[in-house]
Structure 1
């Protein structure tokens, strides 16, 4: 989960890039995340292409490919 957040930040251009992409949130707030807040998961998925299942498996469960293994 934390690894998926780190990858999301890298893909978006760090805390600042992710904040700009999401809008209405500061880079400092994103820097405090230990995991993507539930209300932001779908937006982060749309911006970064990282699956909601990777970002928050506690909410969305494992992806279908992980279930098949």
Structure 2
């Protein structure tokens, strides 16, 4: 699922809440969802976390080697 598909059905209050949990604004999320802005690596991580994995970092920022980062010792997926 991409970010646009994820946020499209959200009511305004839910979108605002999601954006706040991601540390950004609803407007910024819409800019990212429509492809007008590229999210930072940090925002990509927040979006994945707050969407409970529905929107993944690899989809948001395919230019980053997320596979390497996910396999690095000390990350939450290997610590569990």
Q: Calculate the TM-score normalised by the size of structure 2.
A: 0.49
Give every structure 1 segment of 4 or more consecutive aligned residues whose post-TM-superposition deviation is greater than 4 Å: none
Is the alpha carbon distance of 1:56 and 1:8 closer, same or farther for their aligned partners in structure 2, counting shifts above 3 Å? farther
Question: Which structure has more RCO (C-alpha within 8 Å, separation ≥ 6)?
Answer: 1
Identify unmatched segments of 5+ residues in structure 2.
68-80
What CA distance in whole angstroms lies between the structure 2 residues aligned with 1:31 and 1:10?
9
Identify unmatched segments of 5+ residues in structure 1.
63-69
Give, in angstroms, the shift of residue 59 of structure 1: 1.2
- Asked if the contact 1:52–1:60 (Cα under 8 Å) also holds between the matched residues in 2, the reply is no
Question: Residue 57 in 1 paired to residue 78 in 2?
Answer: no
Q: Which has the higher helix share?
A: 1
The alignment yields a C-alpha RMSD, in angstroms, of 2.9
What is aligned with 1:5?
Answer: 3
Question: Which of these residues, 44, 48, 55, is aligned with residue 45 of structure 1?
Answer: 48
Q: Calculate the TM-score normalised by the size of structure 1.
A: 0.54
Aligned length: 58
